[in-house]
A and B are shown apart, each in its own frame.
Chain A
Amino acid sequence: MKVSLFGTCLVDVLKADIGKATVELLEHLGCEVDYPEGQICCGQPTYNSGYLNETIPAMKRMIDVFADSKYVVGPSGSCVYMLHEYPHIFKDDPVYGPKAKALAEKSYELTQFIVEVMGIEDVGATFNGKVTYHPSCHMTRLLGVKNPPLTLLKNVKGLEFTELPQKEYCCGFGGTFSVKMGRISEKIVDEKVEHVKETGAEYLTGADYSCLMNISGRMERLGVPVKVLHIAQILNSR
Chain B
Amino acid sequence: MSIKTKFAGDKFKVRVEKKVKDSFMRGAVASATDTINGRKNQLTAEMGNWEDWRNHGEEIRKHVLENLDYYLHQFSENVAKNGGHVYFAANAEEANKYIREVVQKKNAKKIIKAKSMVTEEIGMNDSLEEIGCEVVESDLGEFILQLDDKEPPSHIVVPTLHKNKEQMRAVFERKLNYEGSSQPEELALCARKVLREKFLAADVGVIGCNFAIAETGSTTLVTNEGNADLVADLPKTLIVCMGMERIVPTFEEMDVLVGLLTRSAVGQKLTSYVTNLTGPRREGDVDGPEEFHVVIVDNGRSNILGTEFQPVLQCIRCAACINICPVYRHIGGHAYGSIYPGPIGIVLTPLLDGYEGNKELPYASTLCAACTEVCPVKIPLHQLIRRHREIIVEKEGKAPFSEKMMMKAFGLGTSNASLYNMASRMAHSVVKPLTKGDKITKGVGPLKEWTDYKDMPKPNKERFRDWFKKHKGGNN
The contact of B330 among A14, A178, A184, by CB within 8 Å, is A184
Query: Do B468 and A170 touch across chains, with their CB atoms under 8 A apart?
Result: no
Q: Mark B42-69, 1 if CB is under 8 A from A, else 0.
A: 0000000000000000000000000000
| CB 8 Å contact bits of B365-401 with A (1 = contact, 0 = none) | 1111110110000000000001011111110000100
Out of B330, B367, B372, B441, which one reaches A188, CB within 8 Å? B330
Report yes or no: A218 in contact with B460, Cβ–Cβ below 8 A: no
- In the assembly, what is the distance between CA of A114 and CA of B276, in Å? 55
Residue A117 at the B interface, CB < 8 A? Answer: no
B467 touches A177 (CB 8 A): no
Contact of A177 with B393 in the complex, beta carbons under 8 Å: no
Per-residue CB contact flags for chain A residues 154-185 toward chain B (1 = under 8 Å, else 0) read 00000000000000111011110111111111
Are A12 and B410 touching (Cβ within 8 A)? no
For chains A and B in complex, what number of residue pairs have CB atoms within 8 angstroms?
Answer: 191
Chain B, Cβ-Cβ closest to A192: B326
Instruction: Report the minimum CB–CB distance from B358 to chain A (whole Å).
Output: 15
User: CB-CB < 8 A to B2: which residues of A?
Assistant: none
Rounded to whole angstroms, the CA-CA distance of A55 and B389 in the bound complex is 14
Best-buried of B373, B420, B452 by chain A (most CB within 10 Å): B420
B462's partner among A16, A37, A52, A182 (CB-CB below 8 A) is A16
- Is chain A's interface secondary structure helix, strand, loop, or mixed overall? helix
A58 close to B327 (CB less than 8 A): no
- Interface secondary structure of B, over-half rule: helix
Query: Is B354 an interface position by the 8 A CB rule?
Result: no
Contact of A15 with B by CB under 8 A: yes
- Which of the residues B364, B407, B424, B467 comes within 8 Å of A49, measured between beta carbons? B407
Q: A35-B465, A46-B407 are in contact. Are A40 and B415 (CB under 8 A)?
A: yes
- The answer to the question of B471 belonging to the interface, with a C-beta cut-off of 8 Å to chain A, is yes
Residue A204 is within 8 A (CB to CB) of chain B in the complex: no
Q: Once the chains bind, are A181 and B363 in contact (CB under 8 Å)? A: yes
Contact A179 B446, CB 8 Å, known A13-B460, A38-B417: yes
**In the complex, which residues of chain A have a beta carbon less than 8 angstroms from the beta carbon of B464?**
7, 11-13, 15-16, 19-20
- Given A23-B468, A52-B394, A179 and B411 contact (CB-CB distance below 8 Å): no
A75 → B minimal CB distance (Å): 10
Interface residue tally on B, bucketed by range: 35 or more
| Measured CA separation A215–B390 after assembly (Å) | 28
The CA of A5 and the CA of B383, in the complex, are separated in Å by 28
- Inter-subunit contact B16/A181 (CB<8 Å): yes
Partner of B454, one of A47, A48, A221: A221
Task: Evaluate contact between B453 and A138: CB separation under 8 angstroms.
Answer: no
CA distance A181 to B459 in the complex (A): 23
Check A174–B365 contact: CB distance below 8 A. Answer: yes
Nearest A residue to B453 via CB reads A186
Contacts of A120-165 to chain B: CB distance below 8 A: 137-138, 141-142
Number of interface residues of A (CB under 8 A): 65
Bound complex: CA of A187 vs CA of B21, how far in Å?
Answer: 10
Any chain B CB within 8 A of the CB of A57?
A: yes
| Cβ-based interface call for B73 (8 A) | no
B17-47 contacts to A, CB under 8 A, are 17, 20, 26
State whether A40 touches B420 (Cβ < 8 A): yes
Do residues A170 and B370 form an inter-chain contact, with CB atoms below 8 A?
yes
**Given that A52-B390, A61-B415, A137-B370 are known contacts, is A23 also in contact with B452, CB under 8 Å in the complex?**
no
Give A213 to B389 CA distance when docked, in angstroms.
25
User: How far is the CB of A235 from the nearest CB of chain B, in Å?
Assistant: 17
Contact indicator A142/B369 (Cβ below 8 Å): yes
Chain A hits for B403, CB < 8 A: 49
B184 at the interface (CB under 8 A from A): no
A221 CB to nearest B CB, Å:
5
Question: A58 with B460: in contact, given A53-B394, A183-B17, A214-B454 (CB under 8 Å)?
Answer: no
Interfacial chain A residues near B287, Cβ < 8 Å: none
Contact in complex: B415, A58 (CB < 8 Å): yes
Query: Which A residues touch B366, using CB under 8 A?
Result: 137, 170, 172-175, 177, 185, 188
Closest residue of chain B to A185 (Cβ to Cβ) is B453
Contact A50 B410 (CB under 8 A): no
**Chain A minimum-CB-distance residue to B420:** A40
Q: Which of B13, B331, B459 contacts A13 (CB 8 A)?
A: B459
Q: Which of A19, A142, A182, A220 contacts B468 (CB 8 A)?
A: A19
Quick one: closest A residue to B331, CB to CB? A184
Chain B nearest CB: distance from A68 CB in Å? 17
CB distance from B340 to the nearest CB of A (A): 19
Contact A179 B326 (CB under 8 A): no
Chain B residues closer than 8 Å to A5, beta-carbon distance: 468
Among residues of A, the one whose C-beta sits closest to the C-beta of B330 is: A187
A-B contact list, 28 entries, CB within 8 Å: A13-B424, A13-B463, A19-B467, A40-B415, A40-B420, A46-B414, A48-B367, A49-B389, A50-B362, A50-B388, A50-B391, A50-B393, A51-B411, A54-B407, A55-B411, A57-B415, A141-B368, A168-B370, A177-B366, A179-B446, A182-B449, A182-B450, A187-B20, A187-B331, A188-B326, A188-B329, A217-B456, A221-B441
- 16 other A-B residue contacts (CB within 8 Å) besides A46-B411, A51-B408: A7-B468, A19-B468, A46-B407, A51-B407, A58-B411, A58-B414, A61-B414, A141-B373, A172-B326, A177-B365, A181-B327, A184-B20, A184-B331, A187-B20, A187-B331, A220-B454
Top 6 closest A-B pairs, CB basis? A174-B366, A50-B389, A54-B411, A217-B454, A57-B415, A170-B368
